[in-house]
Amino acid sequence: MIVELVTFKSPEGWDRGQVLEDAKGVVPKWVANPDLIRKHFLLGIGEDEGTGAGLYLWPSIEAAKRVRDDAWRESVRKRTGGYPTIRYFDLLMLIDKENGSSITEYDAEGRPAAFEPA
């Protein structure tokens, strides 16, 4: 399982409401993507104010990279004024307290397995 962190500078002077409205414009594209498992829309606070981010959960790095072409990079630049930075992480374990405190461990191929703490 892959976590992808995409960061970018929000347009100068945009407040939370403007960033949220911009995010709503791309929701249909992400909902329609059959590979996407989860996407979080983020806005920096404190020293990270003015930074926008997307945190994505993908089944594989190949699935994540399929949507990161030049057209996508240009669409981010046109909307925000700058190109995004992309980082990838191997998701080792997930604690989900929102859904009953389940804990899932992922193997190297991204297959989930229940984890019972000692």
CATH number, residue 30: 3.30.70.100
The per-residue pLDDT for range 24-49, each reduced to its tens digit, is 999 999 999 999 999 999 999 999 99
**Is residue 25 a part of any domain in this protein?**
yes
- State the burial class of residue 96 (Cβ atoms within 10 Å of its Cβ: 0-12, 13-18, 19+): exposed
Distance CA 53, CA 30 (A): 15
- Judged against a pLDDT cut of 80, whether residue 66 lies above it is answered with yes
For 74-83, what is the mean pLDDT? 89
The per-residue pLDDT for range 4-26, each reduced to its tens digit, is 999 999 888 889 999 999 899 99
**Is residue 62 a part of any domain in this protein?**
yes
Distance CA 43, CA 3 (A): 17
**Is residue 114 a part of any domain in this protein?**
no
CA–chain centroid gap for 11, Å, is: 19
List the structure tokens of 26.
């791309």
Q: How many domains does the chain have?
A: 1
* Cα atoms in the Cβ-side hemisphere of radius 13 Å centred on 72: 14
**Is residue 12 a part of any domain in this protein?**
yes
In which domain, by residue range, is 38 found? Answer: 2-91
**Is residue 37 a part of any domain in this protein?**
yes
| Per-residue model confidence (pLDDT) at position 21 | 93
Neighbours of 8 (CB within 10 A): 19
**Is residue 18 a part of any domain in this protein?**
yes
**Is residue 63 a part of any domain in this protein?**
yes
**Is residue 108 a part of any domain in this protein?**
no
| Per-residue model confidence (pLDDT) at position 11 | 87
